[in-house]
Amino acid sequence: MFYFTLFVIAAIYLVRKTFIIVPQNYSFLVERLGVFRGALPAGLHFLIPLIDQVRYRQNQKEIAMEIPPQTCITKDNVSILVDGILYLRVVDPYKASYEIENFRSATVQLAQTTLRSEIGKLVLDHTFSERDDINSHVVRSLDEATDPWGIKVTRYEIKNISPPKEILHEMEEQVKAERVKRAEITISEGEKIARINRSMGERQEAINLSEGEKTRKVNEAEGKAKEIELIATAKAKGIQMISDAAGQKGGEEAIHLQITEDYLAGLGEVFEKSKTTVLPLEVAGITGFFEGISKVTNQLPKTGSTKG
């Protein structure tokens, strides 16, 4: 019974060592008597027991590895705590197995040193605003360094950047100051625009008023010119009518009467408007005035007598 049990155990062991099933996206590296024989892809494979053995099992899926927090010093000598996550994939199982002892640990160490180097090139403020640039530089450097190991680094992401508490407080104060500054600039810009708009409105108003005043004066001048023209025309017609009437019967008496009425009306206006009136005229003077008018009228052409 003991030998039978021993035989069954040996048979099971031989079967397990003979028939190998490789899962999808895995690669098994087989050695024959300690020498690399080949990499087995996904599927069922047969091995020679006690001669062939699977030495390495490599996962060819994309792997996410945590990068532990580490202290980095920025260009302006500020110590910050940075951690991240690294994504990679095994593209050459042979190199990942035989060219490096432990590619996971080596990649993590390389990622930490590369990150410290990149952080040291930047001041503290830029480490927050240039995360994408830092990530791309780390990926490029790691991809070049791990190429001999058969590793493809696909992505690196910084998870947290933790400055000291006093630096955080200073940054918060700086952010508040920037907000106040932007608010003051916005208010001043608004006041500037408002003043410009008011001045432009006042300027346009002044232009409109001056244009209106100009138009009013032009209209008044045109009206006065028209009035003067009409008055001159009327006077010319009146003088012509007086000239025609002087030669007719009773014309001279009518002219004397009209002139006397105008003279007396003028004196009346002088008496009304003046507080003190000096009247040096005597009756003889008035008579002389009328005689002068008679001489003027006698010199007018007498159309009626010419016709007779």
- Identify whether residues 73 and 111 lie together within a single domain: yes
- Identify whether residues 159 and 175 lie together within a single domain: no
- Identify whether residues 51 and 89 lie together within a single domain: no
- Identify whether residues 79 and 159 lie together within a single domain: yes
Q: What percent of the chain has pLDDT over 70?
A: 73
The one-letter amino acid code at 154 reads T
Report how far residue 89's alpha carbon sits from residue 106's, in angstroms, rounded to the nearest whole number. Answer: 14
Residue 147 belongs to a domain with what CATH number? 3.30.479.30
- Identify whether residues 155 and 180 lie together within a single domain: no
- Identify whether residues 189 and 133 lie together within a single domain: no
Query: Is-above-0.85 flag for pTM?
Result: no
- Identify whether residues 154 and 176 lie together within a single domain: no
Q: Which of 92-101, 140-149, 212-221, 267-276 has the lowest mean pLDDT?
A: 267-276
Report how far residue 254's alpha carbon sits from residue 276's, in angstroms, rounded to the nearest whole number. Answer: 33
Q: Is residue 304's pLDDT more than 50?
A: no
Domain hosting 173: range is 165-225
Within 8 A by CB and 6+ apart from 301, the residues are: 243, 246, 247
- Identify whether residues 71 and 42 lie together within a single domain: no
Report if residue 271 sits inside a domain. Answer: no
Report if residue 102 sits inside a domain. Answer: yes
- Identify whether residues 66 and 133 lie together within a single domain: yes
Residues 168-217 have pLDDT tens digits of 777 777 777 888 888 888 888 888 898 898 888 888 888 888 888 888 88
Greatest Cα-to-Cα distance within the chain, rounded to the nearest angstrom: 187
Residue 276's pLDDT is: 60
Report if residue 264 sits inside a domain. Answer: no
Q: Of all helices (H) and strands (E), which one includes residue 39? A: strand 35-40
Q: Which of 110, 97, 105, 85 lies closest to 27 in space, CA to CA?
A: 97
Contact between 71 and 115 (Cβ < 8 Å): no
- Identify whether residues 66 and 146 lie together within a single domain: yes
Q: How many domains does the chain have?
A: 3
